[in-house]
Amino acid sequence: MAEENFIDYVKICCRSGAGGAGSAHFHRSKINPLGGPDGGNGGRGGHIILRGSTNTWTLLALKYRKHVIAKDGVNGSDNNSTGADGDDIILDVPLGTVAKDAETGEIEFEITKEGEQRILTPGGRGGMGNSFFKSSTNQTPRFAQPGESGLEEWKILELKVLADVGLVGFPNAGKSTLLAAVSAAKPKIANYPFTTLTPNLGIVQYRDFQSFVMADIPGIIENAHLGKGLGHRFLKHIERNAILLFMVPCDSDDIKNEYDILLKEVFLFNPDLLDKPRLLVITKADIMDDELKNMLLSELPKEIQPTFISAVTGFGITELKDKIWSMLQRD
Which pLDDT score is estimated for 195? 44
Q: Is the pTM of this model over 0.85?
A: no
The Cα–Cα gap between 8 and 198 comes to 9
What is the torsion angle, in degrees rounded to the nearest 10, for the CA atoms of residue 93, residue 94, residue 97 and residue 99? Answer: 0
Coil, helix or strand at residue 154: strand
The Cα–Cα gap between 205 and 6 comes to 24
Q: Average pLDDT per run of 10 along the chain, which is 331 residues long?
A: 62 96 90 86 97 86 90 95 96 91 92 94 96 90 94 92 81 79 61 52 83 78 46 64 87 85 84 87 84 80 82 88 88 57
The Cα–Cα gap between 129 and 142 comes to 10
Which pLDDT score is estimated for 257? 87
Amino acid letter for position 98? V
238: Cβ contacts below 8 Å, ≥ 6 apart: 166, 168, 217, 244, 266, 273
Which pLDDT score is estimated for 31? 81
DSSP 20-80: PPPP--B---SS-TT--B-PPPPPPPPPEEEEE-TT---SHHHHT--EEEPPPPPPPBTTT
Domain ranges of the chain: 1-159, 163-330
User: Could you say which of 2.70.210.12, 3.40.190.10, 3.40.1020.10, 1.10.3720.10 is the CATH number of the domain covering 1-159?
Assistant: 2.70.210.12
Is the domain 163-330 a CATH 2.60.120.40 member? Answer: no
